[in-house]
Copies of this chain bind each other. A is one copy, B any other.
Amino acid sequence: MTDGAFLAIDWGTTNRRVYRIAADGTVEATVRTDRGILAMEPAGYADEVAAIRAEMGDLPILCAGMVGSNRGWAEVPYLPCPADIAGLANALHWVEPGRTAIVPGVAWHGTAHADVMRGEEVQVLGATLAGLTPATALLCQPGTHCKWAWMEDGRIDRFTTAMTGEIFSLVQRHSLLAAQMTGTVAAGDAFLRGVADAQGGDLLARLFGVRADFVTGRTPAGDEASYVSGLLIGTDVWARRPAEAPAIGLLADPVLGALYSAAIAAAGGRATLVDSHSAFIAGITHIWRHAA
């Protein structure tokens, strides 16, 4: 039942990507929309999926991402770490048996804290299975909430999430520094100064320093957004000890990929860029083939 063509849906909070995947694993069609779960009514998923089949083909569907959260179509319990493809495939939530399923998220339960992901597990496991990264590696997915997954022999051993992108956005939009942060963020000198300053562990003072350096005329205006981005990404990256990682894979778009690559290099690590769409397709296809 799960060896033929199917529709794979990466259904996140604000965006959705539907891929038609042939029996041989080829991606035959891709449709991206902004119909993320925030654009959906809880009762609207059945009709939405019918519309997707009408457009993309009357095939089985496997969804992953926030669609499996309490704000999505159905709340699917998290699979605990260590998590692998077989574990996810065995824990699918079948909305309609054999026809429509949702991939569970993954939870990590540490001594002092827990962490959760929904959707990223498909990418990081797919990156490993497709050989895009080594089976033992540190994988990073930057964004509003940056995920770092420590992969061991192809499994998600543990992971942590940092509010890096969200805090940057709050500072840029609402803080005392907002008026100074209108420039484009780039991985240049100002960004690298921020990364270096982040190593001191004094983020809150270095943020005010942006204002103080401006008031005292110490730094030229214009590159504050890059500096603050460097401070925040640097704070995130240093805490992950990238110099100790056996390998680092970066599942990111070119903009965030360039920033995180530069910060990881400054912190003594070396990251390889991985195409996150290829990783997702590899992961979801493996899950589907494993499904009972």
With known contacts A201-B239, A239-B205, A109–B216 Cβ distance under 8 A: yes
Q: Do residues B239 and A202 form an inter-chain contact, with CB atoms below 8 A?
A: yes
Contact of A171 among B170, B176, B239 (CB under 8 A): B170
Contact stretch, chosen from A57-65, A206-214, A249-257: A206-214
Known: A161-B212, A203-B203, A235-B204. A114 touches B218 (CB 8 A): yes
Contacts of A215 in B (CB 8 A): 114, 116
Interface residue from B113, B166, B175, B238 paired with A212 (Cβ < 8 Å): B113
Q: A204-B236, A212-B116, A232-B204 are in contact. Are A170 and B175 (CB under 8 A)?
A: yes
Q: Which residues of B contact A203 (CB under 8 A)?
A: 203, 235
Q: Does A180 belong to the interface (CB within 8 Å)?
A: no
Bound-state CA distance A132–B78 (Å) is 56
Report the Cα distance A209→B238, complex, angstroms.
18
CB pair B216 A114 closer than 8 Å? yes
- Within 8 Å by CB of A163, from B78, B113, B175, B232, lies B175
Task: Judge whether B114 and A204 touch: CB under 8 Å.
Answer: no
Smallest CB-CB separation from A235: which chain B residue? B204
Q: Is A16 part of the binding interface, using a Cβ–Cβ cutoff of 8 Å?
A: no
CA distance A207 to B171 in the complex (A): 15
Chain B: CB-nearest residue to A114: B216
Interface bin, chain A: 35 or more
Oligomer copy total: 2
Quick check: is A41 within 8 A (CB to CB) of the other chain?
Answer: no
Closest CB in chain B relative to A161 CB, distance in Å:
4
Interface check A145, CB cutoff 8 A: yes
User: CB within 8 A of A208: which of B145, B174, B207?
Assistant: B145
A157-215 residues at the B interface, CB under 8 angstroms: 160-164, 166-167, 170-171, 173-176, 197, 200-209, 212-213, 215
When C-beta atoms are compared, the residue in chain B nearest to A162 turns out to be B204
Interface pair B163/A207, CB less than 8 Å apart: yes
Instruction: Report the Cα distance A209→B78, complex, angstroms.
Output: 16
Q: Which one, B162, B173, B197, B232, contacts A205 given CB within 8 A?
A: B162
Is the C-beta of A34 less than 8 angstroms from some C-beta in chain B? no
> How would residues 216 to 237 of chain A score, 1 for a CB under 8 Å from any chain B CB and 0 otherwise?
1010000000000000100110
B202, B208, B213, B239: the one contacting A204 at CB < 8 Å is B239
Which 8 A-B pairs have CB atoms at the shortest separation, nearest pair first? A162-B204, A202-B239, A114-B216, A161-B208, A162-B205, A170-B170, A163-B207, A201-B201
